[in-house]
């Protein structure tokens, strides 16, 4: 009889746990928002401690560059479309790497942009489009969604019953190596458009990034998020389709202010 009662209690606990593991989109995720923030903070600390691999530019040494970057970030965050606008930290970092065409965002909202990407692009809407894509990965919780699928019920049980206190911290180590699937990349592209559409920017900014890559034969180094994901041509078409679906409003490209941004970089 005790065994039956104990089993029932476990079943109820798991059921409650599952019901509390839905994010704002209703997707199942075993990790809490606090877990996302904790993992992001740990990855941020590891990156800060490894200035050889990640030569982060000091904001006090490059205040103008960071002002531009924060203004672009805040414009996206204030679009009214970012679910976790107030929950995540949304800290921005600029990494010196002129041969690297990349940006990434950890769970919890730690954003990193390489100088190579900034210098490769031609207008503010293009960078805003790429940043919107990366912000979407954090805001749609793609990293912890992927971990939920990868680790499944066992990790869920460990977290619910507190059997593995260091699980979240250890999983954070794997975030830097995590690659998103096609579904996550497509969703991030779409939300880049959704985030930018209410702003001053032309919401097709990310598509211009892919157009430039194609025109240059992806010269200067292929971004890591293109290594195994939808073809750039398909992504351009999907972005354009989402923009048309929202009404096809033509926004600003802000080329002049972007040139000032680039001129402030080392």
What does the pLDDT look like over 86-137, one tens digit per residue?
Answer: 999 999 999 999 999 999 999 999 999 999 999 999 999 999 999 999 999 9
At residue 76, φ and ψ (nearest 5 deg) are -65, -50
Residue 175 confidence (pLDDT): 66
Per-residue model confidence as pLDDT tens digits over 52-84: 999 999 999 999 999 999 999 999 999 999 999
Band (pLDDT 50/70/90 cuts) for residue 4 is very low
Band (pLDDT 50/70/90 cuts) for residue 189 is very high
Residue 74 confidence (pLDDT): 98
253 or 5, higher pLDDT: 253
Burial 5-19 (b: 16+ CB within 10 A, else e): eeeeeeeeeeeeeee
Averaged over 182-197, what is the pLDDT? 95
Joined together, the tokens standing for residue 43 give: 């990855």
What is the biggest distance separating any 2 CA atoms in the chain, rounded to whole angstroms?
Answer: 75
Spell out the domain ranges in the chain: 2-263
Question: pTM to 2 decimals?
Answer: 0.84
Secondary structure string (H, E, C) spanning the chain? CHHHHHHHHHHHHHHHHHHCCECCCCCECCCCHHHHHHHHHHHHHHHHHCCCCCCECCCCCCHHHHHHHHHHHHHHHCCCCCCCCCCCCCEEEEECCCCCCCEEECCCCEEEEEHHHHHHCCCHHHHHHHHHHHHHHHHCCHHHHHHHHHHHHHHHHHHHHCCCCCHHHHHHHHHHHCCCCHHHHHHHHHHHHHHHCCCCECCCHHHHHHHHHHHCCCCCCCCHHHCCCCCHHHHHHHHHHHHHHHCCCCCECCHHHHHHHHHCCC
Q: For the chain, how far is it from start to end, CA to CA, in angstroms? A: 72
- What's the rounded Cα separation, in Å, for the pair 145 and 243? 26
Residue where the block lists tokens 């079943």: 11
- What's the rounded Cα separation, in Å, for the pair 188 and 66? 24
pLDDT of 152 higher than 70: no
Band (pLDDT 50/70/90 cuts) for residue 182 is confident
* pLDDT > 70: percent of the chain: 74
Averaged over 172-198, what is the pLDDT? 85
- What's the rounded Cα separation, in Å, for the pair 224 and 220? 12
180 pairs with which residues across the strands? none
Does residue 89 contact residue 110 with C-beta atoms inside 8 Å? yes
Per-residue model confidence as pLDDT tens digits over 9-32: 333 233 334 444 556 665 667 788
108 pairs with which residues across the strands? none
Residue 2 confidence (pLDDT): 33
The number of residues in the chain equals 266
- What's the rounded Cα separation, in Å, for the pair 113 and 117? 7
Does residue 251 contact residue 202 with C-beta atoms inside 8 Å? yes
Does residue 116 contact residue 49 with C-beta atoms inside 8 Å? no
């Amino acid at each position: 009889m005790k065994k039956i009662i104990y089993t029932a209690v476990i079943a109820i606990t798991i059921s409650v746990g599952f019901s509390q593991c839905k994010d704002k989109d209703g997707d199942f995720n075993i990790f809490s928002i606090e877990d996302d923030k904790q993992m992001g903070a740990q990855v941020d600390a590891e990156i800060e401690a490894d200035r050889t691999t990640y030569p982060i530019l000091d904001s006090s040494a490059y205040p103008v560059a960071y002002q531009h970057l924060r203004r672009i970030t805040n414009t996206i965050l204030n679009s009214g479309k970012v679910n976790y606008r107030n929950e995540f930290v949304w800290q921005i970092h600029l990494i010196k790497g002129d041969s690297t065409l990349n940006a990434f965002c950890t769970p919890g909202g730690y954003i990193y942009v390489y100088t190579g990407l900034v210098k490769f692009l031609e207008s503010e809407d293009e960078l805003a489009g790429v940043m919107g894509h990366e912000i979407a990965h954090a805001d749609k919780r793609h990293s912890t969604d992927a971990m939920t699928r990868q680790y499944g019920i066992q990790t869920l049980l460990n977290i619910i019953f507190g059997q593995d206190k260091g699980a979240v911290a250890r999983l954070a180590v794997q975030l830097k190596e995590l690659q998103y699937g096609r579904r996550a990349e497509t969703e991030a592209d779409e939300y880049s458009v959704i985030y930018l559409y209410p702003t001053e920017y032309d919401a097709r900014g990310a598509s211009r990034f892919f157009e430039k890559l194609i025109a240059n034969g992806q010269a200067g180094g292929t971004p890591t998020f293109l290594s195994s994901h939808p073809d750039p041509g398909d992504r351009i078409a999907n972005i354009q389709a989402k923009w048309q679906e929202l009404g096809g409003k033509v926004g600003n490209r802000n080329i002049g202010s972007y040139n000032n941004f680039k001129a402030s970089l080392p």
